Amino acid sequence: MAGKRSGQGRDQVRVVSYNIRKGLGLDRRRDPLRILRVLGEVDADVVALQEADRRFGLRESVLPQILMDNHSDYEAVPLDVQTDSMGWHGNAILVRRGIAVEAHDIIHIPCLEPRGVVTARLSVRGQSLAVFGMHLDLSGLWRRRQARVIADLAAAASETNATVLMGDLNEWRARAGTFREFKRHFSVLDCGPSFHAARPLGRLDRIMHCDRLKALDCGVHRSALAARASDHLPVWADFAL
C-alpha cells in the first residue's frame, strides 16, 4: 500500500504513474470503476496514466466522464486533441479537483510506433509544478532517442518550474541509455518492481524529478484490488513543496 503523508499533505504533493492497460484486468474484465478505486487507494494529487484510451476506432477514453464525476476526486487535464479521448496516444494527466491547470500541451517525439508525451503546468497549493507523462517505445534505440528529446524539453521547463516526469519507460535495464539521457538533468527514483502485477519483477514504471523538488518517499502501491485491475501496479512518490 502507499504510505501515509504527514501533515495531511499540506506541504507535500503526491504523484502517481499508472499503466491501466485500457482498464483490462488480469481477470480479463474491463472495469474502469476498479481503476478509479485503485486511484482512490493511492490518494495522489497528480496522476499520469498510460493506456488511458482505446487503441482503435474513436479511441474513446477508458474512464467514462460520468464515472470520473461520480466516483473520483479527479479531473482530466484537457488536451484538446480528440473529443472522445482522455489523453493522447493513451497518455493522460489527472489532477485532484481544486488544482488549477495553468497550461497544457502535447509533444511529438521520434517513434517507431505511435507514441507521444503529454505535459501540463499546474498550480499546487500556490506553487507551480510542471508534469510530463509518457509511455516509451518497446525498441531500445527509439527509447533513448525519445528520452533525449523529453529530457531536454523538461530541463527547459525546470528552469522556471519544479518539474516531475512519470510514465512507463518500458526499460528493464538499470544501466540503459534511456536512464543516462534522463539522468543528465533529473534524479530517477527507484520506486520498486511494478510489472507484472501478478508477480512484479520489472521496474518499468518510473518517476523522475528536478532539483527544485525534494523526494520524501516513493514506492509501489500493492493491494488486492491493484493486483487484479491491470498488468502494472501504480508507482507513487511524495515531494516536499
State the residue range of the domain holding 224: 12-240
- Averaged pLDDT for residues 78-85: 75
- Averaged pLDDT for residues 148-176: 97
Domain of 173: which CATH number? 3.60.10.10
- The pLDDT of residue 145: 95
Give the helix ranges, DSSP H, for the chain.
32-42, 65-71, 140-157, 177-183, 226-229
pLDDT tens profile 143-159: 999 999 999 999 999 99
In a domain, 231, yes or no: yes
Pick from 77-86, 132-141, 190-199: least confident = 77-86
In a domain, 5, yes or no: no
- The pLDDT of residue 58: 58
In a domain, 208, yes or no: yes
- The pLDDT of residue 121: 98
In a domain, 87, yes or no: yes
In a domain, 165, yes or no: yes
- Tell me the HSE value of 137 on the side-chain side, using a 13 A CA sphere: 19
In a domain, 60, yes or no: yes
Count of domains forming the chain = 1
Contacts of 65 (CB under 8 A, 6+ apart): none
In a domain, 1, yes or no: no
